[in-house]
């Protein structure tokens, strides 16, 4: 069967088509899927384009809701989302950022997925539609854990509470080629402070496992502490717990393990 392209005008139509045809895949920004088609890795099945305007909407009243079709370029245009500019800017060059969507980033294979690392540190929920039912909120960590199984339906949006203080949110991507190399690693941290101590730490790593992961040991050692030299030393020591980096064309597993604590410490101490 050759590739068939169809356009869905509503979320329900797209979710129904995806549920009814196991070959169906959504074309979001297309930066990954079109490469698969052009390079002959994807040769048959249904490719869906979704034109529901809500797919590209940004809603900033209360909890932030970003339609899954929102692009990195659209994030960069919104001053209210300044805390997300570093992860959006970290994705490819300008042409890629004009197309690359948040939804597609949730499915991107490591070492891609830099924006998803930031969403994980923001404790985001993914809105998923299976068939014709209403979208269901799935914690991003759970969504990523289930990704290898496939069959995740249509992602309509992601939601999260914005950081109360933008300075509490930090992101760092390390790559060999600047400005648009692939990740040796990426780190995001949301470190709300209460009375001078971290309260509700969320730290996430990219390229340290097959999917972006929470750094729970780091979160534990930071919780309730002032962000001082002792806490940062403890975080460095905890960084390797649970990581499973791979060796790929960008870096070896050994190198990733060696440099992770260094860059985590730089992020926590606010260094460039
Ligand atoms: C030159 C180049 C450089 C890149 N650099 C980076 C980088 O630095 N960092 C990085 O993280 N990524 C990078 N990427 C990868 C990619 O551009 C991004 O990860 C991007 O966010 C993917 O989004 P997309 O909309 O283009 O995905 P698409 O190609 O449209 O989709 C990718 C996959 O996700 C599925 N999908 C997409 N949206 C949905 C949805 N809403 N519901 C269900 N399934 C969905 C598709 O069906 C497909 O299987 C790069 C790509 C290129 C070509």
Predicted confidence (pLDDT) at residue 272 exceeds the cutoff of 80: no
Strands (DSSP E) contained in 58-181 are 58-59, 64-67, 125-129, 136-139, 154-160, 169-175
- Nearest CA residue ID for atom 43, ligand 1: 154
Q: Write down all domains in the chain, each with its CATH number in brackets.
A: 3-107+124-160 (3.30.465.10), 166-268 (3.30.390.50)
Q: Distance (Å, rounded) from C-alpha 16 to C-alpha 48?
A: 11
How many angstroms does the Cα of residue 209 sit away from the middle of ligand 1? 18
Q: Please report the atom of ligand 1 found closest to the CA of residue 93.
A: 3
Q: Tens digits of per-residue pLDDT, 34-81?
A: 999 999 999 999 999 999 999 999 999 999 999 999 999 999 999 999
Residues in contact with ligand 1 by the CB-under-6-Å rule are 25-33, 35, 68, 90-92, 96, 99-101, 103-105, 107-108, 112-115, 154-155, 182
pLDDT band with cut points at 50, 70 and 90 for residue 169: very high
Predicted confidence (pLDDT) at residue 195 exceeds the cutoff of 80: yes
Q: What is the mean pLDDT of residues 186-202?
A: 97
Q: How high is the pLDDT of residue 76?
A: 98
How many angstroms does the Cα of residue 155 sit away from the middle of ligand 1? 13
Q: Distance (Å, rounded) from C-alpha 94 to C-alpha 269?
A: 30
Average pLDDT of every residue of the chain: 96
Q: Distance (Å, rounded) from C-alpha 251 to C-alpha 156?
A: 34
Question: Which of 31, 88, 211 best tests ligand 1's pocket when mutated (most atoms within 8 Å of CB)?
Answer: 31
- Nearest CA residue ID for atom 33, ligand 1: 104
Token representation of residue 230: 């002792």
């Amino acid at each position: 069967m050759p590739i068939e392209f169809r356009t869905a005008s509503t979320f329900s139509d797209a979710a129904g088509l995806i549920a009814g045809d196991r070959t169906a895949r959504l074309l979001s920004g297309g930066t990954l899927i079109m490469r698969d088609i052009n390079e002959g890795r994807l040769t048959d099945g249904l490719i869906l384009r979704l034109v529901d305007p809500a797919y590209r909407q940004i809603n900033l009243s209360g909890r932030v809701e970003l339609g899954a079709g929102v692009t990195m370029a659209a994030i960069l245009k919104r001053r209210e989302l300044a805390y997300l500019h570093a992860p959006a800017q970290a994705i490819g060059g300008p042409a890629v950022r004009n197309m690359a969507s948040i939804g597609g980033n949730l499915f991107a294979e490591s070492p891609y997925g830099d924006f998803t690392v930031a969403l994980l540190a923001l404790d985001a929920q993914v809105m998923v539609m299976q068939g014709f039912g209403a979208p269901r909120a799935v914690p991003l960590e759970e969504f990523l854990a289930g990704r290898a199984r496939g069959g995740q339906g249509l992602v309509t949006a992601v939601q999260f509470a914005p950081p109360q203080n933008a300075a509490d949110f930090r992101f760092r991507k390390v790559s060999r080629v600047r400005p648009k190399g692939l990740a040796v690693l990426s780190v995001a941290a949301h470190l709300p402070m209460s009375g001078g101590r971290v309260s509700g730490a969320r730290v996430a790593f990219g390229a340290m496992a097959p999917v972006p992961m929470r750094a729970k040991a780091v979160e534990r050692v930071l919780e309730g502490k002032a962000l001082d030299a002792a806490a940062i030393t403890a975080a460095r020591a905890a960084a390797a717990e649970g990581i499973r980096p791979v060796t790929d064309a960008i870096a070896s597993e050994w190198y990733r393990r060696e440099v992770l604590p260094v860059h985590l410490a730089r992020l926590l101490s606010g260094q460039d």
